[in-house]
Amino acid sequence: MFQETLEITTRGRGTLDITREVDAVVARSGVTTGLCHVFVQHTSASLILCENADPDVRHDLEQWFARQVPDGDPRYRHSLEGPDDMAAHIRSILSNMDLSLPVSGGRCALGTWQGIFLYEHRHHGHRRRVVVTVSG
């Protein structure tokens, strides 16, 4: 078991491709066949696998979340931390804080069009802790 914590600074709501950073941890672990577990230690950011070629995909995904989980919904009771906070919690639960990937040939065995993205759901940027655990 090899474990490292990455600290990633986000620039506000949106996705950041962290595939390279995660694969670098796998490389440092020395594991060739196994599993890579990625975990964000927050409740208003998440980890997704997404199409990595056309940025419009992440734009359309973001717009879908903005429509389905609106910021500042007057029905939210939890509003003290800002209109985007409760929406960020719901978005994170729907898109998940944990992600597990197969490791093969010393790297994450992703499909051609899959990238690993840290999804910041708050409007302001934050310093996010991502724990990567590699077993094999």
Question: Contacting a copy of itself (CB under 8 A), which of 9, 27, 104, 125?
Answer: 104
DSSP code of residue 84: T
Q: How far is the CB of 80 from a copy of itself (least distance, A)?
A: 8
119 in the Ramachandran plot: left (φ > 0), alpha (ψ -120 to 50) or beta? beta
Kind of pairing between the strands at 2-9 and 127-135: antiparallel
Q: Decide if 134 contacts 2 (C-beta within 8 A).
A: yes
Site for a copy of itself (CB under 8 A): which residue of 96, 106, 118, 126?
A: 96
Q: Contact residues for a copy of itself (CB under 8 A)?
A: 1, 3, 33-35, 37, 39-43, 48-51, 54, 56-57, 59-61, 63-64, 68-69, 75-78, 86, 89-90, 92-102, 104, 109-114, 129, 131, 133, 135-136
